A and B are shown apart, each in its own frame.
Chain A
């Protein structure tokens, strides 16, 4: 089977700027253009290589700042790698920043159309799936109310519902599984599982290790931008969890003093 995503020797450098990096001409002139330059660089990702065969699901774990989201964004072609390369084949969809383009002054209906088209659907396709989207979000009664009358949870449900109706060949998911209440979360997870069954290749970043253990074909553990461990979900997640427990325990000890 061929690979849908190939990442080879990927490296991404971030620059740290002066805290008071000028954003206006006046600042640039008064403080000197020198400060425009970065003071220091660090690698957000380094030597990262992996590939995902078509139709498989790869999970990425790691503590905050390990480079998970950077990796996802680079695969989504947002930003340029400083080293290595990424190859993807197939129509890409993303469950990142759900509800991009949502506007509080517009109604749920209007927002579904805008967000659906932004997510890569044609207007006619949004129209065809409109009822199903509203049904999935469970927002039938509110669909013609402006979005600012929605609760946070309702807004996220609407965002996920639209995203659930794009039919990508590659899907990038960044920590969106914490949407809505328990029942809705379950629905989201089912949907992601369904995507996989229909042959979609998935790259998933999450802290929900139990879900990953159950559904991912393999898991990568990122640590400070490097791959710490990779392979069978059970093994990787087991060692990741035990490391996290040790760390959490050390905080407990510290707080006792």
Chain B
């Protein structure tokens, strides 16, 4: 909320410190709770993607062999990038309704809730990155200077995911269907994002598939990590513009609905 009493009356310095501490505490809470009472704990953040990769490697290595070179890397990048997006969006969508007690506290900065979802899932993503590096080395993919662009791509995906999250979290307060609808839409989007196959020939046949931003994100990661090149400038610029625009739109939608969801949830 804009009129945030706790936040508003703080000096800019304290405000930044406060937001940092709040983000830290709530992200840590999220991560602790996720693996509470499990024996392996954080180890699951490593094991999950490995298990998933194994399943897909069996399916697309033996059952439905893929023609793509270094398919393991190709696939793993897709899975990791997609999982970060999907888990973030799913948990951010529920974050307002799921945190009633926080929303109803005077001065609680509710825009931080979707940010917490995306950040804690980013951490799971980062935990799994070393496995990707191992797979890259195993497949003898050459490392190049293009890797320097990777953080920028991460930030951009973060911005895009935040934008989507704000829009969905706002809608979810009024229409709880979003949650179920989202599951189906994400499944569809998963298969249209070229996670398991090379999307280039398909796009030539159906140009409309270009409209899916996640497809471009996944491809950009592959260009950097597998081809060792920088993503093409024009699509990358468009992607950046869409991501930033969506975040601005989503955030303002979320903030403007603020007084409403305080009363509705």
Which residues of A does B touch, CB under 8 Å?
23-26, 28, 73, 76-80, 88-92, 94, 96-97, 99-101, 103, 105-106, 110, 113-114, 117-120, 122-123, 172
Chain A residues near B259: list those with CB within 8 A.
79-80
Residue on A nearest B6 in the bound complex, by CB: A120
**7 closest A-B pairs by CB:** A76-B106, A100-B101, A80-B259, A123-B21, A92-B5, A24-B177, A117-B25
Interface assignment of B187: CB less than 8 Å from any CB of chain A: no
Q: Determine chain B's interface SS by DSSP, over half rule.
A: helix
Stretch with Cβ within 8 A of A (4 or more), from B32-40, B141-149, B200-208, B213-221: B32-40
Please encode chain B, from 170 to 208, with 1 for each CB lying within 8 Å of some chain A CB and 0 for all others: 000011110001000000000000000000000000000
Query: With the chains together, A34 CA to B189 CA distance in Å?
Result: 33
Option from B1, B6, B29, B106 in Cβ contact (under 8 Å) with A106: B29
Query: With the chains together, A244 CA to B17 CA distance in Å?
Result: 49
Q: Say yes or no: A118-B102 contact (C-beta < 8 A), given A77-B4, A91-B9, A94-B107.
A: yes
Q: Say yes or no: A97-B108 contact (C-beta < 8 A), given A23-B175, A103-B33, A123-B21.
A: no
Query: With the chains together, A214 CA to B17 CA distance in Å?
Result: 40
B residues 16-32 near A (Cβ < 8 Å) are 17-18, 21-22, 24-26, 29, 32
Q: How far is the CB of A221 from chain B (nearest CB, A)?
A: 24
Interface assignment of B69: CB less than 8 Å from any CB of chain A: no
- B21 x A122 contact (CB < 8 A): yes
Chain B residues near A88: list those with CB within 8 A.
5
Interface assignment of B263: CB less than 8 Å from any CB of chain A: yes
Q: Say yes or no: A105-B36 contact (C-beta < 8 A), given A24-B175, A77-B3, A117-B25.
A: yes
- A77 x B1 contact (CB < 8 A): yes
Query: With the chains together, A23 CA to B175 CA distance in Å?
Result: 6
Q: How far is the CB of A23 from chain B (nearest CB, A)?
A: 5
B residues 196-243 near A (Cβ < 8 Å) are none
- A96 x B106 contact (CB < 8 A): yes
Query: With the chains together, A73 CA to B22 CA distance in Å?
Result: 22
Query: With the chains together, A172 CA to B105 CA distance in Å?
Result: 11
- A120 x B107 contact (CB < 8 A): yes
What are 18 A-B pairs at a CB distance below 8 A?
A76-B5, A76-B106, A77-B3, A77-B5, A79-B262, A79-B263, A91-B9, A97-B104, A100-B102, A100-B108, A105-B33, A105-B37, A106-B32, A114-B26, A117-B22, A118-B25, A118-B108, A172-B106
Query: With the chains together, A75 CA to B37 CA distance in Å?
Result: 41
- B9 x A122 contact (CB < 8 A): no
- B177 x A101 contact (CB < 8 A): no
Query: With the chains together, A41 CA to B210 CA distance in Å?
Result: 48
Q: Of residues B102, B107, B174, which shows the largest number of chain A Cβ atoms within 10 Å of its Cβ?
A: B107
Query: With the chains together, A226 CA to B4 CA distance in Å?
Result: 27
Q: Say yes or no: A122-B106 contact (C-beta < 8 A), given A24-B177, A77-B4, A100-B101.
A: no
- B9 x A77 contact (CB < 8 A): no
Give 17 new A-B contacts, CB below 8 A, not counting A97-B101, A100-B101.
Answer: A77-B5, A77-B106, A78-B262, A91-B9, A92-B6, A92-B9, A92-B106, A96-B105, A100-B104, A103-B33, A106-B36, A114-B26, A117-B25, A118-B108, A122-B14, A122-B17, A123-B25
- B262 x A101 contact (CB < 8 A): no
- B22 x A118 contact (CB < 8 A): yes
- A76 x B175 contact (CB < 8 A): no
Residue on B nearest A116 in the bound complex, by CB: B25
- B107 x A77 contact (CB < 8 A): yes
Q: How far is the CB of A11 from chain B (nearest CB, A)?
A: 15
Chain A residues near B26: list those with CB within 8 A.
101, 114
Residue on B nearest A78 in the bound complex, by CB: B262
- A100 x B105 contact (CB < 8 A): yes
Query: With the chains together, A47 CA to B94 CA distance in Å?
Result: 37
Query: With the chains together, A106 CA to B36 CA distance in Å?
Result: 9
Residue on B nearest A74 in the bound complex, by CB: B106
Q: Say yes or no: A101-B102 contact (C-beta < 8 A), given A23-B176, A77-B107.
A: yes
Query: With the chains together, A113 CA to B29 CA distance in Å?
Result: 10
Q: How far is the CB of A78 from chain B (nearest CB, A)?
A: 5
- B102 x A91 contact (CB < 8 A): no
Residue on A nearest B9 in the bound complex, by CB: A91
Query: With the chains together, A87 CA to B167 CA distance in Å?
Result: 31
Residue on B nearest A80 in the bound complex, by CB: B259
Query: With the chains together, A52 CA to B242 CA distance in Å?
Result: 49
Residue on B nearest A107 in the bound complex, by CB: B32
